Amino acid sequence: MRKSLAIAAAFLMLLAACTDDDTVPTTIQTGTGSGLSAVAASFDPDSIQFVASLQRFDECAAVLSHFQDQAMARVGPYGLDGGGGFFPQPFIDDQVFAAAEDGGAPARGDSATQAPVIPDSGEFREGVDFSGSNVQVAGVDEPDIIKTDGSRILAFVNQTLSYVDASNGSARLLGTLYLPGWDHKFFMDGDTAIVFARGDGFAVPLPEVRDARIAPYGGPKTLVFEIDLSDPENLVVVRTMHIDGNFLSARSIEGTARIIVSAFPSDLPFVYPSSEAAEDIALRANKQAIADSTIDTWLPNYTLVTGTDGDTISAGLLVDCGQVHAPVEFAGFDTLAVLAVDMTDGLGAPDGTAVIAQGETVYASTESLYVATNVWVPSDVWGSDVVRRIEEDYSTAIHKFDISDGSTEYRASGTVTGHMLNQFAMDEYEGNLRIATTEGPPWGFSDTSESFVTVLQERDGGLEQIGRVGDMGRGERIFSVRFIGDTAYVVTFRQVDPFYVVDLSDPEAPKVAGELKIAGYSGYLYPVAEDRVLGIGQDADNDGFTTGAKATMFDVSDPSDPRELGTWTMDGGYSDVEWDHLAFLYWPPEELAVLPVQSWQEQFFGAVVLKTDDGIREFGRITHSASGGVTPSDCRELTADELTSLDAEFPFGEGLIVQVCGEGESGGAGALECESLPYDEVMALAADDGIDLTSVMSEGDRLEVCYPEFDSQDPAILRSLVIGDQIWTLSWRSLQSNSVDDLTVGQLIPLG
């Protein structure tokens, strides 16, 4: 009944909102979080200089000394903050403190079957015979949940790797393999797959203290699996590497994979005082824990085992101390490590380099890898004038690594004004790094902020600014960026969508060549042709309130006068493409764009196929239809006209049913789940909101709101790819093929 009250109240609130001219707009949220965190005993805001440069250590003793010195200056009675992985131990009583002081320490088409047509040639060509992952940089692969080489499809859903043979007329599921962890992504190279997953921490050895009420927490782990694909019916885990820290990203170039992880030291036996009076004792205990720490406490470790939990092959520090770097300006206690793995040889002892800093955004060209890190700001100054001063001069540090010869070597660092949106905000071109940023920190809007494109060049161990153009999107922030050759396309948004064309042909004097203002925004940009760019995002009204999914085709043939060639929209919809570029597919031979879309308003959960041969138009839709359907109810469904008569538009859309049931009527609606509310309670709620429902309900009636059960709703489509003349789409439930020509359903392969 409590759920029914909530549904009815929401229904009545929508009616009331539609009769009120002072409706409060919704807030648009996008982008990434700040990544700033830390606690300090004291803080001098003048010490923040936003200067990026790295110092390299010669030995482990120097690295340990760095960590201990920085920690001693910042530790408190509740331990350290400053990374994503540490949680203080639960309450410990005074006896434990005393012991510690002594040294204790993430379709159209019918049901007809049409077999896929696969090319006869034994050599399949990406972009001609099949599609690859929608990566940012050609030649730089990114891990994903689905891969194909034209003859087979590997997909990862529900913690299970599925191997589908697509080498002849009828695709077949040959084998599956369950792997622990979550948020799996992988690379495929010949008969080897390298799978990345996030995992739980292992148990941590606890300090030998009396009567301690301690819950062990080993911090997050990155799991890397080497899979042998040579026998599809018997997929085998050859080796598994357990790494301390969070998996951030990975890139693969010509068979060499780079893995980026971020680890916070979670093995320190800090205590947590049970009262304010015990804080001094806790502080002394925590300082002693730092003094007694070893290098293994601070730097991430790894363990390489056979299979998933077999014999240990090797273990130790993830990165050699001689390859550890620290910013001159303190940037946190996290270790950001970049590891190299030769997929031909498989997993072995890790080879890489590391930076002691918080890092979030990773970009790689074929020659270089860049990682953006954030300035360290203690959390105890939030809400003060100090933070406002930081916001006025916020900058982001960029660190460059050379990956051109198979190894990973640190090269240079630099800073840029403001914050970046995501990996597409960086691009390397002719030896220079171009970066798009918005002034200020990565949270909120500012009425005075502007966006920039900055060009950096490596000089004497630094990334120095050689050119910059700004004055884009005053009072707005960047929602998407795409660099193409010597041009950048930048979208900012707050109420309207300014689409900027930036001329970077002279890196020392970049300039805004043209601008177009339209409603809504594009969260992802894709070049479909030399003079056309497709934007995927949200439509919006004149006040900047989003109204649903939108695709826009931009004509950029004249950089000084970009134009809108056409748009496609779906009310109330959204696409994962806005924040996950790997969910997007563009197939140039047929000029087809495929994007997953969900809309509760239209009750659509699937993929929309767009044609870009003449502007942009909807070609059709693909769904993985759920079994069952909606059977009629014996109650009377309220129509849109009836709700309009109440000065309201129908707020639920096609898939949700609002109905009035009289005495003796059973209600319900087939495969839908229904919640009901009695007449008296409905009328009481309506009266409170000044809504008259006497024209639609009578004494003794009840109101029912029916909505799809989870299992009866079409599953969301996650990815799509093309093999031959078939579009294959992946949901958490199945893999399905549809004809490229007319979207006729071909095969549907259930997945575990």
Residue 73 corresponds to which amino acid?
Answer: A
Residue 674 corresponds to which amino acid?
Answer: C
Q: What's the number of domains the chain is made of?
A: 1
Does residue 549 lie in a domain region?
A: no
Task: DSSP for 383-416, please give it.
Answer: TSHHHHHHHHT-EEEEEEEE-TTSS-EEEEEEEE
pLDDT at residue 4, rounded to an integer: 45
Among candidates 355, 478, 261, which has minimal Cα distance to 53? 355
CA 580 – CA 576 distance, rounded (Å): 6
Eight-class DSSP state of 45: G
E strand map for 351-390: 351-356, 359-364, 368-373
CA 740 to chain CA centroid, Å, is 29
pLDDT at residue 44, rounded to an integer: 46
CA 225 to chain CA centroid, Å, is 22
Does residue 635 lie in a domain region?
A: yes
Environment class of 99 (CB within 10 Å of its CB; exposed 0-12, middle 13-18, buried 19+): buried
Does residue 68 lie in a domain region?
A: no
How many C-beta atoms surround the C-beta of residue 662 within 10 A? 15
Read off the tokens for 177: 């393999």
Spell out the alpha helix ranges (H) of 292-375.
295-298
Pairing state between β 324-327 and 351-356:
parallel
Phi and psi, residue 322, nearest 5°: -70, -10
Q: What is the mean pLDDT of each run of 10 residues along the chain (752 residues)?
A: 46 47 33 29 42 79 96 88 36 32 33 36 72 94 96 95 90 93 94 92 36 49 96 96 93 92 88 85 93 95 91 94 87 89 92 85 91 67 64 83 84 89 95 94 80 95 93 91 97 85 97 94 95 95 88 97 96 95 96 95 93 94 70 77 58 66 79 78 82 84 77 84 96 94 92 76
pLDDT at residue 626, rounded to an integer: 61
How many C-beta atoms surround the C-beta of residue 752 within 10 A? 13
Eight-class DSSP state of 486: T
Q: At 574, which helix (H) or strand (E)? A: strand 573-574
Does residue 12 lie in a domain region?
A: yes
Does residue 724 lie in a domain region?
A: no
pLDDT at residue 49, rounded to an integer: 43
- Rounded to two decimals, the pTM is 0.77
Structural domain boundaries enclosing 698: 2-27+627-712
Contact partners, residue 161, CB within 8 Å, separation at least 6: 154, 155, 176, 177, 178, 179, 184, 186, 193, 195, 227, 235
Contact 699, 709 (CB under 8 A): no
CA 193 to chain CA centroid, Å, is 22
Does residue 637 lie in a domain region?
A: yes
Does residue 690 lie in a domain region?
A: yes
pLDDT at residue 273, rounded to an integer: 86
Does residue 210 lie in a domain region?
A: no
CA 722 to chain CA centroid, Å, is 24
pLDDT at residue 632, rounded to an integer: 66
Contact partners, residue 517, CB within 8 Å, separation at least 6: 496, 497, 498, 499
